[in-house]
Structure 1
Amino acid sequence: MALLTYRLLLIFLLPVVLLAAILRSLSQPAYRQRLHERLGIVPNKFRSGGIVIHGASVGEVLALKPFINQCLAEFPNLPITVTTFTPTGSEQVQKIFGDRVQHCYLPLDVWPCTTMFLTKLKPKALVVMETELWPNLVAQAHKLNTKLLLINGRISDKSVTSYQKFSALIKPCLAKFDQVLAQSEANKERLIALGARQAHCHNIGNLKYDISEGSDTKVKYQTLSPMFPQARPVWLLASSHEGDEQLVLDAYRKAREAHSELLLVIVPRHPERFDKVAQLLAQEGFSYQRRSNAQPIMSETQVWLMDSLGELLAAYQLANIVTIGGTFSTIGGHNPLEPALYQKPTIVGSDMANFAEVHQQLVQQNGIITLAHQDNKQQLALQLSQQVRQLLVNNTQAQTLGSNAYQVVKANQGCSERTLAALKTELS
C-alpha cells in the first residue's frame, strides 16, 4: 500500500519535478539537456543484459572508479552502464571511462520512467551506492529478478530518524537487496535496523579508501603545475560551500600577517557558485585570478579561484596545506582521503558526519586536524588561521600529519575487490 501511494504521488509530482529541473537549468544549462534520460528513455544504441552501476555525483563516481574498472575486466562480455543524477557526475563518467561504459542519467523514480529504463536495459544486476534507495526502481527490478546490491552503504546517526519516518517504504526496499555491503560495523547495524536482512548485510569496508592516482590525474597535474609559483606556500580550500569562503578568507587575512607570500586556492564544490565566489573575492578586495583564464599565477595574486571541473586531485599535489569545505556547518564534510593520498596535512571543521568512521581513524592515527566547534565565526577564523600558521612554520608536524593520513589510506584498501567478489557470487 505504501509503495502504491508513493508511485501515485510521484506520478502526480512528475510535472513539478521536471519544472524544478528546468528552473535549475537557468543557472546550470546542463540540467535541461538529455531530459529524455531522466524520463527513462535510454539511447537506442545501448546493449541490454548487463550491469547497471549508479553513483549520484562526482564523489561517488570517483569512489566507484576502481570497482568499475574491475567490473570491465571481470565481465568483458557484459555491457556496463554507469548512471548518475548530476551533470558534473555525468561529465566525470565520460572523462574517466569514455566509451568503455554506457552512460546515461538514472531516471526519476516514477513508475513509467523506471519501467522504460529497466525494459530497455534488462540488467542482470543493479548496483547502487551509499544511500541511493529508490523504492519504485528497486521494487520493479526485484520483480524482474534483477540482482540488487547496495554497496558502500552508509546511514549517518542523524539520518536514521528521518529514514524511520518513511519505514513503510524504506524497510521493504532494503529487504529486497540481495547484498547490502556497509562501510563499517556501525553502518551495518543501522541498515539492519532500517530493514536490511541481517544474513545479507555485511561490513566490508569503504570503497573510498581504494583511491589511487590515474593517468588522467597525472596529465592534469602536468597542466596545472607550470601555472603555480615555485617559491610560494599554497593553502587549498577544497569543495567549499556557502559560508566557507568567507570564513577562510577571514582566516587567510590573519595568516598573511606572518606569511605574506601565502597563496590561497579556492575550489568551490558546485560550478554554479563560481561567479558568486569571484564576486565575493572582488568585494573583499583580494587580488585574484580564475583558473578558466589559463594564465600562470602572478606574484601579486593572493587567491586563485579554480573554476574548473575534475582537477581537484591534481591540485592537491600542489598544496602545502588543505582545508576541506562543508565541515564548518551542517553539510557533513567531503572526502579527507583524497589529500591523504598525497600526504597533505589537512584541517577540517567539526562536522564530518558524512565520513564519521574515516575521520575517526584519521584522528586516532594523528592524521588530521579538527577544529573545535565555534558558533562565533570570528573565533573560528582565528582558530583556523592559527593552525595554518603553525603548519607553515612546523614542517615536521606537517609531514607527520600527511604521512599518518597516507598510512590510514593504505591500511584500509581492498574494498573494491571484496565488492566485486560479492557481485560475482550473485551473478554465478
Structure 2
Amino acid sequence: MSDGKPVKCYLSPYTPDSSPKKKSLDLLVDSYKQFVIPSDWHLKYESYKIGGAHPGKIPTHLLFDMDFDKTEDFSTPLPFSLSQSSNTPNPVKYKIIPYHQWIFLSNTFGSDGEIVYRSKRSSFRSVSSGGYGDETLRGETSDIILPVSARRDFDHKSWKSSETTSKVASLDSDHAKYFFCVVSNKIGLEMFINSDGFNSALQLLFSIDGLVDYFVQSSGNGEFGNSEFLLKISMIFLTISYTHSGVIRSEFLFKSCNTTDKDPGLILQMLVNKMDIDLGNNNALGNVFNGVLTVENLCLQCSKQSEYQMKFNYLNLKPTKTFEKSLKLFLRTSNQLIFCNKCKNESDTQKTIKLSVLPHYFLIIFKRWEEKNPTNRIPCTFKRKLKLKLDTEYRLIGVIAEINKKYVCYGKRRKCWYLYDDEKYMKSSQSAALACVPYVLLYKKIN
C-alpha cells in the first residue's frame, strides 16, 4: 500500500446508513476510535452472522491504495475532495465502525490493511500491516486506542512480557496452552448512565487470564457468529488484550444485555450465566470456574439417602461478619421440605452441601441486594489467602466494592493492586482492597 504508487481513492461522500443529504464532511467522529470498511463486505458479514457464507478477508484495498505521506497534500479534506474528483471511477461505499468492532473483525476475518478516520486532520489515514514506524505515530501514543499493527512498534514488548508465556496446565490438563493475554493495568471503561456496576463487573472478568485468552483465541474460528452477545464481549476481550493503555467503550455490550440491575453481583451473575448458555456444552468456563458441589439428602421420614452433583461457576453467599462464616453458613447441614420418591410427598429432609471439586477461580457473589438496610452494609471481612483444603490454597486477585455510593473494582494485575472507577484507574494496595465492604470476591488457586 505504500510502494510509491499514484494516489488513488474511491470513496462515496455518503455513508450507507446516513441520509443522502448528509455529506461525509459532517461526520465529526472521535478519530481515535473510528475505522473504515467497505459496506459490501459488512453486508456479507451481517449475513454470515445468521448462517450465510463466510465473508472472507476485509478488502480495505478497495478504499485506499496510496502512499499515506501524500494524503496531507490535498487542500480539501478527505474523503470529500477525492470522492468528487473527475479522475476517479465510481465511488465505493464505506462504513465507519468503532475501534472495538474493527479489532474483532480484523482479528477474526483478516484484512489487507487498516484505515483509521482522523477527525483532527480531517482525513483518513491508511495504516499498512508493515512499515508503520515510530515516526508516523509520534504525538499519537498517549492513552489512545490504536490499531494492532500500529501498536506493535512502540509498546508491544513493553507489556507482553516473558511472564505472559508461562504454561497454565491447570486450566486444561489434556490440551495445555500457552497464554499470552495478560491484561494491562492501564485499561479504563467509558462512563455512561449507571455504568459503575457493569464496568466493575467487566474489570473483574479481565482478571481471569484464561477467560480472556479463550475469547481471543476462539474469535478467529467463527464459533461466536450466531450469538450477538458473544460477538460483542469478544470485541471487548480482543481490545483489552491488544491495548497497553486507554479507555474502552462498554455501553454497546451493556445495551445488548437488556439488564436493569445496578448491583454488580447481579450483573456479574448475568454475564457469566449468559456466557455459559451461549457457549453451550464443554465450553471454556468449565476450565475456569470448574467447581462441583455434592448435595446429600437424608429423608428423616423413611431414612432414604440420595446424592447428586452440580457444577457451579460462582457461589451466592449471604453476607455475615466474616467471609469464613458466610461460607460455613452456605455449607452447613440444614433441614428442608424436599419431595421424597419413596414417601411420594414432601418430607422433612436433612440436606448437606459439600465442595467436592474446587474451581481454578473461586468467584464469590454476596447477596447484598437482599440486605434490608442498604445504608448500613454488613462489613464481611475477608483475607488475602483462603485455604479450603489441606493441599488447596487461594489468593485474592479481585474485589468489587462500593466507595462514595459508586461501585469500583480492585484488581491485582502484574503483581500490583489497582483501583478501577469507570474511566479512571490508579495504583492502589492490597490493604485498601481488604479494608472495603465487598460485593464480589475473586480468588485464584495457587498451584
TM-score, normalised relative to structure 2: 0.26
Going by fraction, where is strand more abundant, 1 or 2? 2
Structure number with greater Rg is 2
Name the structure where helix makes up a greater proportion of residues.
1
Relative to the length of structure 1, the TM-score reads: 0.27
